[in-house]
Structure 1
Amino acid sequence: MGKLGKYNFMKKFSQINTFLPDTRLATKSNIKAMLELYDSLYVKPDEGTGGHGILKITKLQNGYSLKGGKSTRTFHSIDALYGSLRTVLSKHKFVAQRGIDLLKHNKRAFDIRVMVQKNRNKQLVPTGIIGRLGKANKIVTNYHSGGTPLPLDTLLKSHLQGEARKEYIRRMKELGKKASSVLRKSYKSKPAFGVDIAIDSNMKPWILEINTGPDMSIFNTLKDKTMYRRILRYAKLKR
């Protein structure tokens, strides 16, 4: 399944569906309907990884902006906006996802990756959690698109204090585990899941995507290698 298939599968489960941002096939009618509901949308390749090919549509006072990579264009109508998107959307399957106003650190947006792996008994265990700090003025936080991996504790310091911060990080690990447990029903043989979570300005978490073949190398960028060693240890387990 691509992003849309995973979303449609997961939204059937009450334990996580309130954490899933509205995601639909990127058609003109869907984009128009969603822009009536939300201030911004992300248009993503259904099968894409690493943040490549992602576009952001933002409502303006008198039209819309379309941002991708380093370029930003403005349009006065949905027709003009979609006219610019049509060529891209006709080549591959894309999804439109509700834009989340990401929490910021030093005025730069960040999100979270939670690594969840099977143990020897085939039970899912959260083995790592890391923050991804986006570049200034970039619309994605992905490591391979220029995002900076940092300890989540560091990124949350200006938003939560002491025990409240520790408890929040624990909750994010549990949410990653819960989301992986749901998707595992369709991906029974996968040994690991990488859960991407956004936090909005009200501290509500949103599950953006779950990768079924997550990259472990991002955890090796941290000075403290404890999580990375644990992830490698779990990756080598015989189940």
Structure 2
Amino acid sequence: MRNLYEILELPETATTLEIKQKYKKLALLYHPDKNKEVDNEKFQELNLAYSCLIDPKRREVYDRTKEIDEKEYDFYFKKINENDIVEYEKIYRYSEQERNDVFLAYVKTKGNLLDMIDHIPLSTYDDLGRYKDICQLAIDQGELSIYRQFPKINQKELKKRKAKLEKEKKQVTTENEKENELALKMEIQKRNESRLAALISNIEDKYCKDEKKHKEEFEESKPKRRKKKNE
């Protein structure tokens, strides 16, 4: 495995902002939907490097050891099955990462709850109420600004989108056998956007950390993350 900084074409002194900016640029360059001639492995390496270096604690461990946890490596390069997705969903939902993604989606869509679904991994329309509560609490605490269209939901539009999603699910089920593991990951996150837009709009650990499976082995001193529901 190449040095993670070399993969991102950055020095070891790179700031978090520089890592994010470089990731966006390289994701566009190596994305298989944009460049059919690029090997998928380069794109997988890019996501592994980003997910490790964007996390301060994991970056500190990597800077010290220059090693990547074997299970973390497997997460990006092994074939993904339905069980992997289910296990990640258990980690992601109600996590700090999901909360951050909700905030990013809120700002990007200017408080449009229906559009937010397009930008949050593993989201469903059943999550709308929970996302509204998360944002409202953040607004009350001064973490987010209020937008005029929040928290309104156009029920007619919601019904229309649900019908469209059901149709897409049937299409994805039919096509999955023909797609490789990378395409499957991205289909899960697709929703109503193109694969590339869904990826770039969720650059904050979009391809997950698989923390629950290997956090004890990877970083024994790291405190366990508690899952909390926003009230």
**Taking structure 2 as the reference length, what is the TM-score of the superposition?**
0.28
TM-score by length of structure 1 reads 0.27
Tell me which protein shows more strand as a share of its residues. Answer: 1
Considering Cα pairs closer than 8 Å and 6+ residues apart, tell me whether 1 or 2 has the greater RCO. 2
